[in-house]
Structure formats: C-alpha cells, structure tokens
Amino acid sequence: MSRTCAASPGGPSGCTRSRPRSAGPGHAADPITTNPVLEVPGNKPHVSGRPADIFHVSDHSLLTDATALNHITESMAAGVARLRDTSSVIGVNAEEARSRATAASALTAEASQQVASLEEIGQEVLHAVETITGIARQTNMLALNATIEAARAGDAGAGFAIVAREVKELARETAASAEKITGTIQRITEAVGATAAQFAGINASLAEIDTFQQSVGAAITEQYSDANAIATDIQQAVSLSSDVVLLAKKVTSG
C-alpha cells in the first residue's frame, strides 16, 4: 500500500492511499530491494567471527601440530640411532668375547694334550719303577742265597757273607725307594687325571659359550638390521614432517 499526496490550490494538501497492484497475468511483483530491519538506525548484522580470523587460528594450529610432529619424529630418529649404535657396540663386544672364548678353548685343548702326555709319562715311570722293584727283589733273593752259601763255607766265606749282607741292604733300600716313587707317581697320575677332567669341563663350557655367543651375535645382527630399517623409515618421516612444517609456515605467512 502506498500514499499519494497532492497539493490543492488554496487548501490543505490531500492524500489518498492506493493498494499495490497485484501480480496478475503478465505483471510481475515489485522486487524487494531493501531490508526494513537493517534500515532501522542502530541495527547492524552480527557475525560470530571473521573468516580471516578463523583461517588464522586454523593455520596457527596446523603449524603448531606440524612442528610438534617434527620434534617427535626427530626424537624418534635420535633414539633409533642410539639403539643402532648400541647394537653395533654390543655386536663388536660379542664377537670379541667369542674370539677370546675360541682362543681360550684352543689353550685348554693344548693344555689337555699336555696333561695327557703327563699321564703317559707317569705310566712309563711306573713301569720303570716296577722293573726296578723286580730287580731289587731278585737282588735281595740272590743276596739271601749268597749269605746261606757263605755260612756253609765257614771261615772261608766270611768276607763273601759281608758283601752279601750289604747287597741285601741295598736291595731293600732300592725296593723301599721304588715303593715311595710308585706312590708319588700314582698321586701325580691322579692329579693329572683330575686336571684333565677339569680341562674337559672347561672345554665343554667354552663350547657352550661359543654357541651362545653365536646366537647373541645373530640376534644383534638382526636387531641392527631392523634398527637400520626403522631409522630409514623414521628419516623419511622426519623429511615429510619438515616439509609439512615448511608448508604450514608458508600458509601462515600467506
């Protein structure tokens, strides 16, 4: 509805109201080009946040997250590098221990052979002592027979009887010494046998250590290989996170 006012000559102006024309066939309605609410003084549209501020917050958050991710991947890379270095050192030490165990095994094997040689020498000495003991026994019997014959000869065999007694005494002393030597050799042989058994046990332990060191070395080698693979992957992640940080900085600065 609109108001039309026209001035009358010599009198007050007259205003008449007219209704808006309805949109009929062939007539389009007048478009609304103004907002009566916004046209009221003091009424302004309210927007919760400007798009530029929203993008700024998002860009800043992206840069912060990307930087944190980059720090995390760099820390992981450093940790894996330390693990790889530690694995390498352990591998070297394990190989050194294995080498020393092998050398010790060779030394104990050589010592075992020497102990076996001592056992053989001890047996040879025992055989020699047994021979000496047999000779002393026979000498004693001959001296006894000579003493008997000297007694039969009377005064003529008196000197011979003295010699026979001395020979008999020497035979007795020889037999006693041979018996002592036999006891000593037997104790030495027993000690050598015990030493040989200990060396055999040491060799067995060294063999077990060598087997264990081989297993440890294989495990460390595998761990070192895995650490290398992980380090490669993490290095790629570090590179990618660095790229993300650069992109985030570009977006933020733009």
Would you call 171 helix, strand, or coil by DSSP?
A: helix
The pLDDT of residue 58 is 55
pLDDT at 104: 84
Which CATH architecture describes the domain 73-243? Answer: Orthogonal Bundle (1.10)
**Cα–Cα distance, 167 to 170 (Å, whole number):** 5
Residue 95, beta-bridge partner list: none
- pLDDT, position 33: 45
163, 169, 172, 174: CA torsion to nearest 10: -80
The pLDDT value recorded for residue 149 is 83
Q: Residues 6 or more apart from 237 whose CB is under 8 A from it?
A: 73, 76
- The reported pTM is 0.48
pLDDT at 156: 77
Dist. CA 176–CA 167, nearest whole Å: 14
Q: What is the pLDDT along the chain (254 residues), one digit of tens a residue?
A: 444 444 444 444 444 444 444 444 444 444 444 444 334 444 444 444 444 444 444 556 766 777 777 787 778 778 777 887 887 888 788 888 888 888 888 888 888 888 888 888 888 888 888 898 888 888 888 888 888 888 888 877 778 888 888 888 888 898 888 889 889 888 888 888 888 888 888 888 888 888 887 888 888 888 878 878 887 877 787 777 777 778 777 776 75
